[in-house]
Structure 1
Amino acid sequence: MPHENLELSTPKPVLSWAGHPLSRDEEKMAKNVASLPFVFKHVSLMPDVHLGKGALVGSVVATKDALIPAAVGVDIGCGMMAVQTPFTADELEGKLKKIRLDIEAAIPVGFNENKNVEKAVTNWQGWRDFKELHPGVRRLEGKAMKQMGSLGGGNHFIEVCLDTENHVWLMLHSGSRHIGNMLAQNHIDTAKELLKLADNRLPDPDLAYFVAGTPQFAAYWRDLQWAQNYARYNRDVMMSRFVRIVEKHLGGGKQTKPLLQVNCHHNYAEKEVHFGEQVYVTRKGAVRAQENDYGIIPGSMGAKSFIVKGKGNSDSYCSCSHGAGRLMSRNKAKNQFSVDDLVKQTQGVECRKDGGVLDEIPGAYKPIEQVMKQQSDLVEVVATLKQVVCVKG
């Protein structure tokens, strides 16, 4: 679907792939961002766009010489990983519950952490730079080590999926855990303090920013890259445990080779070249979709997910959506739906079906097919997946 240029009369245009009008609050948030002096060319909104903090979730903001820490968000490097295994659906027969229980035993979820730190974690290169990070997190090295290889909560999940050819895929969604959150909070606080000192009037204090060339910008950039690497490696550690569990049940413990492996962020900032200029690109709930980039766009539990390949659309800053996008807040979902609704909507999926995950009910999300239709000019679908096991954070 072609995007539309929203009539917002902002200094920089806002291009939207949403295919529907924004709510008044969403419009205001888009306007606020598009009015910032350092925003480059235009702001791009993905089909799953919805309210966030400071900036819309599902927005791609390219900036010259400045970064907005709250626009990157607090789960730095949050993203997805997927592996296509050589196994097929018939091998899963009668094993789904055992696999789910093994995943829950091997990978801590919610606020939990690992009891022991495995070798793959202690060997991670990133620990060498830990002492360089923001002073506010220096006491957290032990916790960061124990949380590496853990899922977290909210909309994070681990899934066994089948594609339309009945191949078994393993998929997970997670970020930089407590350490990423604390780094983000510390820098957001600094940005807000600087704003007050400069008596700078912004349409929203959550848009407080750092300017390139200042020590504060350099410190944030360093910590951001560190947390993004932590998040990516966190997914690697969990996935290798996950693969071992599935190999135990389906392959008699023999090691297998993945047919395809994808690991991509959807909450992060990177230096990239667009329209011939070097800019900082912040993807807040968006996946990079340069030509031939593989990406992952999950639906809600009980819905389809998609493995995609980027088309390199320059107007979207080579980006696509990161999921279905929420239709209603967590509280609204809890008030509107019952556990019975959850059981109905997750039929055929081996997962928790209790009040603790009610805010993640499929009905709280936009229909993923509609979201995919809106971005046919951004990505092509490589595989369509449906989950058979789902472990929620």
Structure 2
Amino acid sequence: MKMPVTGNDLLSIGYTKSNILSIALKLANSAFSTQDKDAVVALFKKLKDYPENFLDDEVLEPLATAMIEEANTPKDEVISLIDAPKEYAVFGESHIEPGAKAQMDVAMKLPVTVAGALMPDAHQGYGLPIGGVLATKNAIIPYGVGVDIGCRMALSVYDIPESHFYENEARYKRELIAHTKFGAGHGYHGQHKADHSVLDSADFNLNPFIKNLHDKAWSQLGTSGGGNHFVEFGIIEFDATDEALKIQKGRYLALLTHSGSRGFGATIAGHYTRIAKDLCKLPKEAANLAYLDLNSQEGQEYWIAMNLAGDYASACHQVIHDKMAKAIGAQVLTKVENHHNFAWKEILDGEEVIVHRKGATPAGKGVMGIIPGSMTAPGFLVRGRGETAAINSASHGAGRQMSRTQAIKNITKADMKQVLKDHGVSLIGAGRDEAPMAYKDINMVMAAQTDLVDVVAKFTPKIVRMADDGSRED
């Protein structure tokens, strides 16, 4: 009885474990089943080495064609990084951990990188460090934008004097609890759902993936995430009249919110990061910086989805601020909003670039922004100076000096309670991972970016609400 040709026989003459091997093995033991095994193996060796010689063969032509097509299919080649990182500006370098700078060094070696900068609140993240600003040529990096797409700050300054707040503090606390909802996965249902024109955007019909997220977006509209997201009442002080904002010198009650695009944005981030990693093979140290060409279908889809998530995040803040103004019967004297974890098309040195600001505030000439401290430290209303070396950016906060794990390990409940009492802050929710001591000194951070922004007013937190379930940004 003739011995069949085995997979090992074909592997020994140069075949590899692939679909081609399966086809060849089946063919060898069917069309050539009556022939001598050694002769069949020799024939298939010639076929492997010279498939073009078998294109006229009645039996072997399909396999020869498949071999040629496989040989001509582009392989998933790893994209090389440039040899040395391009130079970039670092603000507050002595306060930035080595891990953040190491991540920025890798980002500056991408072949699509044009320029970069590191803000004084920078710390290590995934892909681009938090506090990293990266300008690229016609490429968008999903993890350069971040998971919480369009995360933003929004500030409403009310026509309510400081004294009225202190006289009615219990009422303000009740309204803050009544009109906010926090935490990963949390949302509204039924008649309690909010409404906003963003839900009518045609971009929700971009593709089935985005369309299927519409209900999630609707349920979480007007809610805040976990982690460092907050809604807080505080006193904002203008040392001088600001003509542009039409605000007189004085101290006013204000509402400050920090949150992003919730589960909607996080799902988009995860989906398009996976696509980018499939399409853009980078060395291991740069894998989380996989990018999409903006001329590609995938790049265009992500760009539209990212902008929709940004609009959605803004809508969440608007719902909260509208509810709160109505609840306390206040007139809004001015409102300022800015976002990070986003990418913008901007002109840098005469060419259009894609500017990623992951945990960094836009600070172009005259652009307003809010830079918060911690639940006890002041935040600052600022006006950008348009510093080119910083790619028109500034910090987005104080920045962590302890990881969440370190904070829980090193900070006691008693320590946290005492610091809140010392600063006269009433806290609703939050865990020790968000304790003030886990953050850098905001005054130190602001001192490192005097070339980037001018301070317009100082905001002092008084009643702070955060997620009370231990959840992170979702």
User: How high is the TM-score relative to the length of structure 1?
Assistant: 0.90
Match of 1:310 among 369, 374, 384: 384
The equivalences for 1:108-119 within 5 A come to: 108-111=181-184, 112-116=186-190
* Bigger Rg, which one: 2
Distance in 2 between residues matched to 1:52 and 1:273, nearest whole Å:
27
Letter aligned with residue 425 of structure 2? V
Question: CA offset at residue 119 of structure 1?
Answer: 8.6
**CA pair 173-62 structure 1, distance change in 2 beyond 3 A:** same
**Unaligned segments of structure 1, at least 5 residues:** 1-8, 248-254
Question: Hey, what does 1:376 align to over in structure 2?
Answer: 450
**Residue 440 (structure 2) aligns with:** 366
2: CA distance, partners of 1:24 / 1:391: 32
Give the letter aligned to residue 373 of structure 2. G
Which range moved further: 380-389 or 113-122?
Answer: 113-122
- C-alpha displacement at 1:114, in angstroms? 1.7
Hey, what does 2:136 align to over in structure 1? 63
Does the residue aligned with 1:237 lie in a helix, a strand or coil? helix
Counting only pairs closer than 5 Å after superposition, residues 106-255 of structure 1 correspond to structure 2 as 106-111=179-184, 112-116=186-190, 121-124=195-198, 126-133=200-207, 135-164=208-237, 165-196=250-281, 200-201=282-283, 203-247=285-329
Whether the 8 Å contact between 1:160 and 1:388 is mirrored in structure 2 is yes
3-state SS in 2 of match to 1:328: coil
Q: What residue identity is the alignment partner of 2:322?
A: S
| 12-21 vs 307-316, greater mean Cα deviation | 12-21
Counterpart position of 2:160: 87
Which residue does the alignment assign to 1:351? 427
- SS at 1:166's partner residue? strand
Give the number of the structure whose residues are more often strand, by fraction. 1
Question: Which residue identity lines up with residue 143 of structure 1 in the other structure?
Answer: K
Deviation at 1:117, TM superposition (A): 5.7
Aligned partners of 2:194 and 2:222 also within 8 Å: no
Equivalence for 1:270:
344
What displacement does 1:118 show? 6.7
Query: Which residue identity does 1:344 align to in structure 2?
Result: Q
Secondary structure of the residue aligned to 2:202 is helix
Contact 2:339 2:361 in 1 (8 A): yes
2:372/2:380 contact within 8 Å kept: yes
Q: Is 1:49–1:57's contact at 8 Å kept on the other side of the alignment?
A: yes
Q: For residues 281-296 of structure 1, what are the structure 2 equivalents within 5 Å?
A: 281-296=355-370
SS in 2 for 1:292: coil
Distance 1:21 1:101 in 2: 39
Distance in 1 between the 2:123 and 2:200 partners? Answer: 33
User: By how many angstroms is 1:122 displaced?
Assistant: 4.7
Shift of 1:243: 1.6
* Deviation for aligned residue 1:21: 6.1
Kindly indicate whether the alpha-carbon contact (under 8 Å) linking 1:96 and 1:350 is maintained by their aligned counterparts in 2: no
Distance between the aligned counterparts of 2:197 and 2:334, measured in 1?
25
| 2:280 alignment partner, SS class | helix
TM-score by length of 2: 0.75
Q: For residues 54-112 of structure 1, what are the alpha-carbon distances to aligned partners after superposition, in whole Å with 9 as ceiling and x for unaligned?
A: 11100110110111111101100001000111111110124223322322222211132
After TM superposition, the structure 1 stretch with the greater mean CA deviation from structure 2, 222-231 or 111-120, is: 111-120
Question: C-alpha separation between the residues in 2 aligned to 1:83 and 1:241?
Answer: 12
Secondary structure class of the residue paired with 2:125: coil
2:78: which partner in 1? Answer: none
Percent identical = 34
Deviates more, 1:326-335 or 1:160-169: 160-169
Report deviation, 1:19.
3.5
Distance in 2 between residues matched to 1:387 and 1:122, nearest whole Å: 28
Q: What one-letter code is carried by the residue in structure 2 that aligns with 1:30?
A: M
Relative to structure 1, the CA distance from residue 106 to residue 233 in structure 2 (aligned partners, 3 Å threshold; closer, same or farther) is same
2:191 and 2:315 map into 1 onto residues whose CA distance is 14
Q: Does the 8 A contact of 1:170 with 1:243 survive in 2?
A: no
The residue aligned with 2:42 is none
Aligned to 1:251: none
Give, in whole Å, the separation in 2 of the partners of 1:11 and 1:110: 39
Report how far residue 10 of structure 1 moved. 3.2
Give the 3-state SS of the residue equivalent to 1:93 in structure 2. Answer: helix
Q: 1:47 aligns with which of 105, 113, 120?
A: 120
**1:344-386, CA deviations, whole angstroms, 9 ceiling, x for partnerless residues?**
1212112137xx5211000000000000000101100000110
Q: 1:284 to 1:126 in 2, by over 3 A?
A: farther
Cα distance in 2 between the residues matched to 1:235 and 1:26: 30
Aligned CA distance change for structure 1 residues 126 and 48 (closer, same or farther; 3 Å): farther
Determine the C-alpha separation between the residues in 2 that align with 1:295 and 1:99. 25
Alpha-carbon contact 2:199-2:218 (below 8 Å) kept:
no
Contact residue 363 and residue 394 of structure 2 kept, 8 A: yes
Q: Which amino acid aligns with 2:142?
A: P
Q: Determine which structure has greater relative contact order: mean sequence separation of CA pairs < 8 Å that are 6+ residues apart, divided by chain length.
A: 1
TM-aligned CA deviation for residue 202 of structure 1: 5.2
